[in-house]
Amino acid sequence: MAGPLQGLKVVEIAGIGPGPFAAMLLADLGAEVLRVDRPGGSALSLGERDVLNRGRRSVAVDLKHPGGAEVVLRLAAHADVLIEGYRPGVAERLGIGPQPCLERNPRLVYGRMTGWGQDGPLAPRAGHDLAYIAVTGALHAIGRAGGPPQVPLNLVGDFGGGSLYLVVGLLAAVWEAARSGRGQVVDAAIVDGTAHLSAILHGFSSLGLWRAERGTNLLDTGAPFYDVYETADGGHMAVGAIEPQFFAELVARLGIAHLVPDQNDRQQWPLLRELLADVFATRTREEWTEVFEGSDACVAPVLSAKEAPAHPHLAARGTLVERDGLTQPAPAPRFSRTPAELGLPPCAAGAHTREALAGWGFGDVEELVAEGVVVQA
């Protein structure tokens, strides 16, 4: 692959969710990522249809075999980065923790992806995205007035506060290692990343511009000009007309400019919301899409994942593509000189055991297969 990370070698100890997404992103951008799977793969993996596993080869290593850890350590000796997502202490018990890996390769950047982090009272406890974002304040802020917190899929925690912060940390540490000659451990905790993503909320709160009550603020559906409205056919339109010039365009296109109260008069927001809801209910989603075509009203149709690839803008940019029978996002972001491209399709655990290990300098692959240390799918 010819992306900007070409030449970066990454060992990924297979996990679920944020770890694989981080490895996918690195692979999308051109890194050579070798996925170390358990024989047979994870019970939660979708195998050859798991988009999160695209872009890299897979070797199956039995880490319970006496020789399993040695295979990982040999890979670490030739890598720039290693990623693991075990609970704290598990990698150490398996013999592939930071200390033995850095002894083999002092320049290695060792990335640890967890929810709670490597220390603190909850570090050894199990968890999932929802619990992590719950304690940071992020979940509390999402929802409508008078209602409970709403679950934002696992995009805010796992992938936003987790994967993306892991990738930023890894690349920062690789940059530093190129100058110091020394690797280090990157502790990427979803609670830390999600709290960091919430910086704007803390800023607003410190200025008295954010209320603790859900659905009463500018960006949480409290403002009627930043919300979604149902259309005549049961679809929805998203409205984000915050700035006055965009709001003016919105109400002009809706034909209610002569009826609306002052945009910033909170006392009139219930009336404004009712006006917007009533007007949007008079036409279908497709009709409103045509009305706002080419405008700066900051209005867009709410599309499903199946509908999104056909949206004219996304289609023109190739934002979502179909490959190997799977609709999936194209690599992002984009680069003018070193464009990233989709690499290998998702594969079964151990699909490349022989060729991948040989490519990483193993001259004893057949012996390892015969001993059951590694498995070829």
Catalytic residue among 28, 62, 80, 158: 158
* 139/15 same-domain check: yes
* 120/31 same-domain check: yes
Catalytic residue among 128, 140, 236, 311: 128
In a domain, 218, yes or no: no
In a domain, 1, yes or no: no
Where in the chain does DSSP place strands (E)? 9-13, 32-37, 57-61, 81-84, 109-114, 184-189, 226-230, 236-240, 299-301, 320-323, 326-329, 374-375
Q: pLDDT tens-digit profile of 105-117? A: 999 999 999 999 9
Average pLDDT over residues 215-238: 97
What CATH number has the domain bearing residue 348?
A: 3.40.50.10540
In a domain, 203, yes or no: no
In a domain, 2, yes or no: no
In a domain, 120, yes or no: yes
* Number of domains within the chain: 2
Determine whether 158 is an active site residue.
Answer: yes
**Residue 48: per-residue pLDDT:** 83
In a domain, 256, yes or no: yes
* 19/62 same-domain check: yes
pLDDT at 324 over 90: no
Partnered with residue 255 across adjacent β-strands are none
Token pair of 169 as six digits: 């940390």
Write down which residue in 302, 331, 361 finishes a domain.
302
Determine whether 128 is an active site residue.
Answer: yes
Q: pLDDT tens-digit profile of 137-148? A: 999 999 999 999
pLDDT at 298 over 60: yes
Q: Give this prediction's pTM.
A: 0.95
pLDDT at 86 over 60: yes
User: Are the C-beta atoms of 11 and 36 separated by less than 8 Å?
Assistant: yes
* 234/187 same-domain check: no
* 17/150 same-domain check: yes
* 26/150 same-domain check: yes
CB atoms within 10 A of CB 200: 10
Q: Domain residues for 272?
A: 226-302
In a domain, 209, yes or no: no
In a domain, 65, yes or no: yes
What CATH number has the domain bearing residue 296?
A: 3.30.1540.10
- Using omega within 30 degrees of 0 as the cis cutoff, is the peptide bond preceding 261 cis? no
